[in-house]
Amino acid sequence: MVLNTLAPKTESLSYALAAVRALQLDMRADPAVVVLGEDVGRGGIFGQYSGLQKEFGEQRVIDTPISEAAIMGAGVGMALAGLRPVVEMRVADFALCGMDEIVNQAAKNRFMFGGQGRVPLVARLPGGIWDASAAQHSQSFEAWFASLPGVVVVCPATPQDNYSLLRASLACGDPVIYIEHKTLWGSQGLVDESLQVPLGKAAVRRRGSALTLVSWSRQALLCEQACETLAGEGIEVELMDLRTLWPWDRDGVLASVAKTGHLLVVHEAIQAAGFGAEIAATVAEATGARVKRLGAPRIPVGYSPVLEAQSRISPDAIAACVRSMLR
């Protein structure tokens, strides 16, 4: 499917096609925006580049060899030369082959050269558990990148945010680690093309006064299900979807916790050393609130459904944790 309508409007789009629309509009407006990666010419493995090479040609939607280090290195060079590349890594797990280029080149260039060089690059790293894909294709690395000075980290959960946050990332001017969840591509939602979403601002998905629940990416959607269950029991939870992990909405979270007095951070990533620890520590240092984290055990994601389920944080587990905190 190719989206060709020029006038801004609101329509129902999949998570993948919302990203196509964002790229399409920015590529039309700015010839410096280019795409490079494996299989982008045929639309990408999730359809997140569908129709773009047909419209913009092979010089702007560039199919590359199978070498993540080469792809990321080329993207950094393009950015330093004045282009605004979107670098496709297929899945976050494969990006590990390009970590030197991300960590030591993209992230540090502006600092090490006194601002003479900028790397306005968006690296798309689909992350999270991919159904029946086992330990090497189901990892969540967002905490690694959140601890890396010099990069922005974005984790959109909805089609609207995948559209608006991708456009904000393209306009950012610094390297952005853009982590879309591997299982969200087909999810549908209304997308308003005129809606701008700033980096670093959480979305309050649900209002409540009993407890503040903070999450991001696909896990925020499972938290919504838990909130529905709890609401039926008379427990109104305030749900915040961070949307960006760096910068993260510290003021928004602290304001919510000041109201509720309780914080639960939930993420799909392994709990040990996960980004939830940063949020929990920040809130504990600033308030007297009761604080708890809920994340995956420190195990590889299994291939079989039974083993894979051990790494998932279910809505029932989230609701049970909320109940235990409020006893």
Q: Could you list the active site residues?
A: 137
Contact at 8 Å (CB) between 140 and 95?
A: no
Classify residue 174 by its DSSP letter. Answer: S
Contact at 8 Å (CB) between 258 and 251?
A: no
User: What token pair was written down for 61?
Assistant: 């939607």
Contact at 8 Å (CB) between 110 and 154?
A: no
Distance CA 214, CA 220 (A): 8
- Judge if the upstream peptide bond of residue 247 is cis by omega within 30 degrees of 0: yes
Contact at 8 Å (CB) between 155 and 79?
A: no
Closest alpha carbon to 168 in 199, 211, 140: 199
Q: Which residues of 66-77 are buried (b: 16+ CB within 10 A; e: fewer)?
A: eebeebbbbbbe
Distance CA 310, CA 22 (A): 36
DSSP 204-261: EEE--SSEEEEE-HHHHHHHHHHHHHHHTTT--EEEEE--EEES--HHHHHHHHHHHS
Contact at 8 Å (CB) between 160 and 195?
A: yes
Closest alpha carbon to 172 in 180, 183, 164: 164
